[in-house]
C-alpha cells in the first residue's frame, strides 16, 4: 500500500496540472485511471462524473479530454466546496450537489470518516475491516434525483463517457440514468465482489443490468484484493454492444 501511494504521488508530481491541484487544493488526481482514459482517445466530448468527491476523477478527465464538457455530481457539501474551488476557472466543468437515484427524493446519506467512502447505503463492518478509517461518522439528508431530472439529451454530446463511483449504490444510480444510457459510448463503474455496503448490488448484478441496456463488459482495472488474495472491488469498463 505504501509503495502504491508513493508511485501515485510520483505520477502526480510529474504532471504540472496535477501537481498544482495537489499543492493548491490538496486534491490528488486519480492517476490510476490515466491509462484507460488515454486509450479511449481524445474524441470524448462529454464526461458525466457521478460521485465526484473533491474532483479527483474530474482532474484525470480534464487532462485526458482537454476539450470535453465535464458534468459532475457530489451530494456532500464539504468535498463539493473543494471541487468548486478547484475548477472555478474552468467554464466546461459543472457540479450538481445531489446524488443520483431512481427517483427524486430525500434520502439518508451515511457519511464515512473518509468522506469518499460515504454512501446512500449503510457501511458494513467488512468495509471498515478492509479499508480502515472508513466507518460511519454521521448521517445526514441529501437530495437524490434521476439523471434525466437534471440533464436532457442536448446536454450530453457524443461520444460520451459516464463514470460512476457511488459506493455500493451502483444499480440504483444506474436505474436513475437508464433513460439517457443510450447516449453513452462507455460506462466506467466501480463495483464490488463482496458486500462492503449493506444490501449493495455486486459485480454480477451490475453486469446483468447493463446487458439489458446494450452494454457489455470490455475491461477491468485497478483490482483491489483482500489479505487472502481474493478480489474485493475494481473499476469496470462497459462499452455499447454494436
Q: What percent of the chain has pLDDT over 90?
A: 95
CATH at residue 123: 3.40.50.150
Q: Are 170 and 206 in contact (CB under 8 A)?
A: yes
Residues 61/47, Cβ–Cβ less than 8 Å: yes
C-alpha 230: how far from its chain's center?
23
> Which uninterrupted H or E stretch holds 83?
helix 77-86
Report yes or no: 224 and 231 within 8 Å, Cβ to Cβ: yes
3-state secondary structure of 54: coil
Residue 142, pLDDT score: 98
Per-residue pLDDT at 187: 98
User: For 10-50, what is each residue's pLDDT tens digit?
Assistant: 999 999 999 999 999 999 999 999 999 999 977 899 999 99
Query: Residues near 173 by Cβ (< 8 Å), separated by ≥ 6?
Result: 50, 99, 100, 101, 164, 166
pLDDT(1) > 60: no
State the total domains in the chain.
1
* Residue numbers of the domain that contains 60: 2-240
Other CB atoms within 10 Å distance of the CB of residue 143? 15
Reported pTM: 0.95
- Quick: pLDDT tens for 125-154: 999 999 999 999 999 999 999 999 999 999
Q: What is the pLDDT of residues 50-66, one digit of tens each?
A: 999 999 999 999 999 99
Residue 123 CA to residue 134 CA, distance in Å, equals 8
Q: Name the residue with cell 488526481.
A: 29
Task: Say if residue 203's pLDDT is above 50.
Answer: yes
Are the CB atoms for 120 and 107 separated by under 8 Å? Answer: yes
Reply yes or no on whether the pLDDT at 3 is more than 80: no
Query: What is the pLDDT, as a whole number, of residue 2?
Result: 45
Other C-beta atoms lying within 10 Å of the C-beta of residue 220: 13
The three three-digit cell numbers of residue 92, written as one number: 466546461
Pairing mode of beta strands 46-50, 186-192: unpaired
Question: Tens of pLDDT along 96-117?
Answer: 999 999 999 999 999 999 999 9
pLDDT (mean) for 169-173: 98
Which residue in this structure is represented by grid cell 464526461? 47
CA–CA dist 124, 136 (Å, integer): 9
Beta bridge partners of 145: 100
pLDDT at 42: 76
Query: For position 204, what pLDDT does the model report?
Result: 97
pLDDT reported for residue 5: 82
The answer to whether 192 and 203 have CB atoms below 8 angstroms apart is yes
Map residue 221 onto helix, strand or coil. strand
Mean pLDDT of the chain: 96
Amino acid at each position: 500500500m505504501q509503495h502504491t501511494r508513493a508511485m501515485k504521488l510520483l505520477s502526480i508530481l510529474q504532471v504540472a496540472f496535477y501537481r498544482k491541484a495537489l499543492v493548491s487544493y490538496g486534491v490528488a488526481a486519480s492517476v490510476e485511471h490515466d491509462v484507460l482514459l488515454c486509450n479511449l482517445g481524445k474524441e470524448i466530448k462529454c464526461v458525466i462524473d457521478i460521485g465526484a468527491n473533491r474532483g479527483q476523477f474530474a482532474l484525470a478527465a480534464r487532462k485526458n479530454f482537454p476539450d470535453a464538457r465535464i458534468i459532475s455530481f457530489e451530494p456532500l457539501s464539504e468535498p463539493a466546496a473543494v471541487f468548486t474551488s478547484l475548477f472555478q476557472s474552468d467554464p466546461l466543468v459543472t457540479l450538481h450537489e445531489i446524488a443520483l437515484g431512481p427517483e427524486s427524493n430525500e434520502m439518508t446519506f451515511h457519511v464515512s470518516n473518509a468522506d469518499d467512502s460515504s454512501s446512500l447505503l449503510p457501511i458494513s463492518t467488512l468495509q471498515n475491516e478492509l479499508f480502515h478509517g472508513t466507518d460511519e461518522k454521521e448521517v445526514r439528508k441529501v437530495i437524490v434525483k434521476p439523471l434525466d431530472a437534471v440533464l436532457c439529451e442536448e446536454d450530453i454530446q457524443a461520444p460520451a463517457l459516464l463514470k460512476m463511483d457511488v459506493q455500493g449504490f451502483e444499480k440504483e444510480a444506474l436505474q436513475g440514468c437508464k433513460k439517457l444510457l443510450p447516449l453513452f459510448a462507455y460506462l466506467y463503474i466501480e463495483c464490488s465482489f463482496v458486500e462492503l455496503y449493506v444490501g449493495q448490488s455486486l459485480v454480477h448484478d451490475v453486469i446483468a443490468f447493463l446487458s439489458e441496456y446494450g452494454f457489455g463488459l470490455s475491461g477491468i482495472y485497478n483490482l483491489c484484493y483482500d489479505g487472502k488474495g481474493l478480489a474485493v472491488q475494481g473499476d469496470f469498463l462497459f462499452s455499447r454492444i454494436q
